[in-house]
Amino acid sequence: MPILFVSGVNDRSLMGVDLDERGNLVHLMDGNCSVHHRLPLKQGVDLQMVLFGKGVKQRGIEFRTPPSLIFNQIADADTHRGALERCIELCDQVNTTVINHPRHVLQTGRERVAAALQGIPGVRMPRTVRFQPRSPDAVFEQAAGQGIAFPWLARVAGEHHGRSMVRVDGPQDYPALHALPFDGRDFYLTEYVDYRGEDGLYHKQRIVVIDGEPLLRHSLYFNEWMVHASSRAFMMERESWDQDIARFDRLTGEVLPPLRPAIREIANRLRLEYFGIDCSLQPDGRMLIFEANANMNVLHTPNPATRYRVEAIEKSLYALLTRYSGEQVI
């Protein structure tokens, strides 16, 4: 029986198109973890399906052979609610094993994750609240009313990569909030924790969690608090690839293992089989979490020097698919 990979179109019903390396047309859908697109599988073992949100007509779904497993790739609770609700209907209809059940993904908005992960030993999870401000004044009032002291972060729900996010250190930063769209969209307000290391740099890691087991995907650092993939250029001015690999291996072998019980508890609370954690591994052994959800790109790497990290994740994913479906997938 095949494994069904389900993707979803965002609530705005928008997607992009591109050509892959073989010249084939591929759809680009945000808010999906896109495992199927990047994980080579044995021919005939998989099926694909794309779901639209409510308001878009879509034919009913019938299977000649019911799938042995559904892998829900729809991963953004903020922007794909309609597709996730349709995926819930699909899962109820098929009644088979599901990886990343859409009911659980719907509970992974930032404010819900922040509440769910409080009180785990070894984890520091900043408070986050969700609200709908109409002015910069409303943001300041929300922070004061929630007891969230300066500094804090305000961001538009559903935005990623630091877009539409402002750090406010005090009343003097009031004008910075005018960069955000006060048009009725929801905002997240999050406590900011200064995670600058003893070296004066900000270190950020991405951990992939597969069936409760962690795999380090990458470790970045920068001289400013917002660390993203673009920080790699700064890193390459300071260390060679050999040094990067040595630092990565030390984190994997020494720093990550003591956090395994905490990460398993995170997986239990989120009830996801495949997701990522963006965090900073702290000198005191704790993990400062920035976000934890399934909506993370982990299987793409343009650099041959780091290909082995992705291969470790692929190997674990193959084992997950075989274990949950009973099918040989490669």
DSSP string, 228-242: -GGGHHHHHTT--HH
pLDDT tens, position by position, 78-118: 999 999 999 999 999 998 999 999 999 999 999 999 999 99
Per-residue pLDDT at 25: 76
Shared domain check, 238 and 146: no
Question: What are the residues whose beta carbons fall under 8 Å from the beta carbon of 96, sequence distance 6 or more?
Answer: 66, 67, 68, 69, 70
Q: Which of 7-16, 72-81, 318-327 bottoms out in mean pLDDT, i.e. has the lowest?
A: 7-16
d(CA 205, CA 286): 13
**Would residue 74 count as lying in a domain?**
yes
Please compute the mean of the pLDDT values over residues 52-59 and round it to a whole number: 78
143/88 same-domain check: no
Average pLDDT of the chain is 93
Residue 21 has pLDDT above 70, yes or no: no
Instruction: State residue 133's pLDDT score.
Output: 97
Match 């990623």 to its residue by tokens: 160
**Strands, sheet with 165-168, edge to edge from the N-terminal-most edge strand:** 128-131, 187-191, 152-156, 165-168
Looking at the fold, whether 182 and 217 belong to one and the same domain comes out as no
Q: Does one domain contain both 53 and 143?
A: no
Examine the domain organization and report whether 212 and 310 are in the same domain. yes
pLDDT score recorded for residue 59 = 75
Count up the domains in the chain and report the number. 3
251 and 274 inside one domain: yes
* 215 and 300 belong to one structural domain: yes
**What is the DSSP secondary structure assignment for residue 2, as one 8-state letter?**
P
Question: pTM (2 decimals)?
Answer: 0.94
Distance CA 116, CA 107 (A): 9
CATH of the domain at 253: 3.30.470
Q: Is residue 313 part of a domain?
A: yes
**22 and 72 part of one domain:** yes
Q: In a 3-state reduction of DSSP, which class is residue 151? A: coil
229/57: higher pLDDT = 229
At 16, the pLDDT band (50, 70, 90 cuts) reads: confident
- Highest mean pLDDT: which range of 32-46, 193-207, 227-241: 193-207
What percentage of the chain exceeds 70 in pLDDT? 99
Instruction: Summarize the confidence of residues 278-298 as an average pLDDT.
Output: 96
Confidence of residue 63 (pLDDT cuts 50, 70, 90): confident
Q: What is the residue range of 11's domain?
A: 3-102
| The pLDDT of residue 223 is above 90 | yes
How sure is the predictor about 160, in pLDDT bands with cuts at 50, 70 and 90? Answer: confident
In a shared domain, residues 15 and 62: yes
Handedness of CA 209, 317, 75, 34 (dihedral sign): positive
324 in a domain, yes or no? no
